[in-house]
Structure formats: C-alpha cells, structure tokens
Amino acid sequence: MSSKLINRIIFLLAIIGMCVAAYVAYTWLTKSPIVCISGGCEIVRKNELAWPFGIPFPLFGLVGYAFIAFMSFLKTVREKSEKTINKIIFGFTCFGVGLVSYFTFLETYIIKGYCMWCVISTIIMLILFFLALKQLKHQSK
C-alpha cells in the first residue's frame, strides 16, 4: 500500500471520527436523544467520569480527530515535511489510543455501560494508529 493511499485513508477515517465525535458531543451538550442500540449511551453520558474537568469526553475526540485530519491534509501540501508529519500523526494516534483505552476501561469496570459511538470511535482510533505505524515503517525503507 502506498504512502499516499495510507494518508488518504487516515484523512478519511479522521473525518469520520470527527463526525462521530461531533454527533456525540452535540447530543451530550444539548442533552438530546442519542441513537443507541442499547441503553449504554445514556448510562455513559450521565456518568461524571465521562466529563473530565467538566468537558464531555467526545470533545477530546473531536479535537484529536480534527488535528489528525489537519496533519494528514498538511502532508499532501508539504511533501518536504512528510517524515515529521508522519511522526506527529503517529504520536497523536498513540495518545489517542491511550485515551480511548482509558475510557473503555472506565466504561467496562467503573461506569458499567458501553456507548456504541465510543466503541466505534475506539475502533477508528485503533485503525488510525496501525495506519500511522505502517506509514512510519514505509518511510524508513
């Protein structure tokens, strides 16, 4: 898989992640009904652990995905900075995986409820992490 294709997939997944995070953040902030296949989304939303520092957890995802999308876009217009941008994207996805892993831990063992949107976001971040890792390996060849 070429580096350009990987970057396009990263960009697309980051945009999808932004959409998921924006939807969930909107429903959390406005206390609107959320589409959920189980009652887990409401259980998570109402738990104080889902609001670190009074900020809804999905806003962290929205900012993170937006940053990854921006860096991926920047990579297409600043080819001379490709290696640096690859490292930044990889670093940010490492941080993202840590964050979603922590939140999944909270959902599983403390909140005792799963938000399907959070699970989708976790899967997206894991895929982004592995793609970013693949890009790093690809550039070292």
Domain ranges, residue 13: 3-139
Domain CATH number, residue 71: 1.20.1440.130
**Inter-residue contact 117 to 23 (CB < 8 Å):** yes
Helix or strand run (H / E) with residue 88: helix 82-105
Q: pTM for the whole thing? A: 0.93
Residues 6+ apart with CB under 8 A from 57: 50, 51, 103, 118
Domains of the chain: total: 1
Per-residue pLDDT of the chain (141 residues; tens, 9 = 90+): 788 899 999 999 999 999 999 999 999 999 999 999 988 999 999 999 999 999 999 999 999 999 999 999 999 888 778 889 999 999 999 999 999 999 999 999 999 999 999 999 999 999 999 999 999 888 776
